[in-house]
Structure 1
Amino acid sequence: MATWDGAPPPAAAPIGAAGWARVAWRGAALGGVTFGCLGVLLLVRLVERPIFGWHRPVTPFITQFVCRMAFVILGIGYRVQGQRMTERGAVVCNHASWLDIFTLNARKRVYFVAKSEVAGWAGIGWLARATGTVFINRDRREAKRQTEVFEARLKAGHKLLFFPEGTSTDGMRVLPFKTTLFAAFLSEGLRDLLFVQPVTVIYTAPEGQDARFYGWWGDMGFAPHLVKLLAQKPQGAVEVIYHAPLKVSDFTDRKALARACEEAVRSGMQAARTAAAG
């Protein structure tokens, strides 16, 4: 999949002794919480899966705990606007960073939809599989099978989360939404049942840092970006804006639905950037 590389990343600042000390203790704390709770999750899932199947009444709370603790450990501020959708359906959001995984799971029980390559990524792929991520191939020949998987998960009450931009950015913009995956919501078995909630995620850089500090894009490496975040003090903040859910049956086709979602997400980004500039 092509990645967005419309702007060169900011130059990495040198990390001093205090910064490396933060990398050490924050990294140990974050790794301990993440992988310790993952072990608990897998044990619980051994009981949960044969009894409840697709339904996960317990393990999502473990995932949420880990994601909330990540912001405590990192010292990043976390704010929310709007109401989480209670109706059955999916969530679509702009994509700025690997940190979005923690940001979006911390407040709302969601299951990410990711490209199949992610399943093979060291560490991240393992975590993604354990937490119920849906992996897809961008191959038209598999469209029917993937729609069937989406339908089964959505009917089970899972709120699937899509990044319609198809790539992460510097966090300062919203790219045009790709419409292909929206077609699954309009299938005969789903269109009258589902809502889609647009969500805008906005990162505010730490004081004195480049505004794109939390963005992760292009060929930026995961490890250097993680180290930069672990070392940073003071930290910035992230804001999650939940927009009004859209009823799928109100739209005639996937392009109209995708356009309405994009407009909602873009409006949240523009309003926040305007307020920050003022």
Structure 2
Amino acid sequence: MHDAITRRRPPTDDDGLEHWTAPPCHKSGRRMGRHARAARRVGLICLWTLIASGPQAILIRRHGTAKIRFARFFWAKVCVLLGLHVQVRGTLAGTFRDRRAVARGERPVIFVANHSSWLDIPVVGGVLPTVFVAKSEIAGWPIIGTLARLGRTIFVSRQRNNTGRELQDMTDRLADGDNLLLFPEGTSTDGSRVLPFLSSFFAVAKPGRLEQAGAPVPPKVLIQPVSVVYDRLEGLPVGRARRSVFSWYGDMDLAPHIWKIGQWRSMRASVVLHPPIDPEQFRTRKELANAVHRIVNEGAAELRQDRRDDA
């Protein structure tokens, strides 16, 4: 199984995009104001994380849905502290449930989204009642790894000998009533397109003979395609050049990107929750992956072309 957020090489300075990735800086006073804004936001997010870690550390040891509800509240608050407004279109298919609900026949939901930035985590995390699936390297990252574990993230690797264990982890979570979130592009992008989805990510939704051999069968699920686009920057529509403000991919370092994001006064992400689909309606995993990709891709394209001032 491929990892969820391996990143592509970023544009170089020769691409002429670096000029667009930071707020305009005409006077030193304004520059100091933007730096103060970024410092305040980073500080508040660190403080909020410290405050929230205690309750979540307790909740993840208990049965019930409180740990998922609190995680969603945590990420929504991070967006507020960043000055990032999240606009949601469509109806949420997933809900909060437990193992008994799944045993009665209720279907967990696997959310499938496009992926262009670390910002996708707080954006969709604040909207969806879900558990993330992320690459195993994140578990060792300072602070981020701790947050991921507190959010009960499922870590996956590229090693084939771990595939069975990772599928088992996902199966167990679904059976417990959790929803999952997948980024099946296998990488983050520059935000201008949605790469083809890797069918291996859909193994838990449509297991084949190899996955089923000697392992518990995952509960029946629904898949809800999700399109995410960052479409407003300080009240103005985001074109192709300014899309690089939000994108985090390739060899980009995380800390400088967070610092730049924190300097902008306001931002907006639009999230489209498409109608859920039943994996059993597709003959093969590849057909399922292609169908979900088409929905997410078309939704993202429509959001990028939408220039209505409805912020």
Per the normalisation by structure 1, the TM-score is: 0.90
Displacement after TM superposition at 1:199 (Å) = 0.4
Structure 2 counterparts to residues 125-204 of structure 1, below 5 A: 125-187=145-207, 193-204=220-231
Displacement after TM superposition at 1:6 (Å) = 6.3
Q: Cα deviations across residues 123-156 of structure 1 (Å, max 9, x unaligned)? A: 1111101111001122222222222221111111
> Distance between the aligned counterparts of 1:231 and 1:256, measured in 2?
43
CA, structure 1 residues 6+220, in 2 after alignment: closer, same or farther (shift >3 Å)?
Answer: closer
Which residue does 2:83 correspond to in 1? 75
Displacement after TM superposition at 1:32 (Å) = 1.1
> Distance between the aligned counterparts of 1:277 and 1:169, measured in 2?
25
Which residue does 1:238 correspond to in 2? 269
Which residue does 1:253 correspond to in 2? 284
Contact 2:116 2:190 in 1 (8 A): yes
Q: Does 1:222 align with 2:254?
A: yes
Displacement after TM superposition at 1:229 (Å) = 1.2
Percent identical across equivalent pairs? 32
Which residue does 1:37 correspond to in 2? 52
Which residue does 2:67 correspond to in 1? 59
Displacement after TM superposition at 1:44 (Å) = 3.0
Q: Does 1:5 align with 2:20?
A: no
Aligned length: 270
Displacement after TM superposition at 1:213 (Å) = 1.2
- Structure 1 regions of 5+ residues with no counterpart? none
> Distance between the aligned counterparts of 1:109 and 1:192, measured in 2?
18
Is the partner of 1:246 in helix, strand or coil? coil
- Structure 2 regions of 5+ residues with no counterpart? 95-106
Displacement after TM superposition at 1:113 (Å) = 0.6
Q: Does 1:275 align with 2:306?
A: yes
1:237 maps to a residue whose letter is R
> Distance between the aligned counterparts of 1:72 and 1:143, measured in 2?
37
> Distance between the aligned counterparts of 2:114 and 2:222, measured in 1?
18
Q: Cα deviations across residues 77-121 of structure 1 (Å, max 9, x unaligned)? A: 210011111342211100011111100111111111111111111
Is the partner of 2:181 in helix, strand or coil? strand
> Distance between the aligned counterparts of 1:62 and 1:231, measured in 2?
27
Contact 2:270 2:303 in 1 (8 A): no
* Residue of structure 1 aligned with 2:130, choices 91, 104, 110: 110
Q: Does 1:28 align with 2:28?
A: no
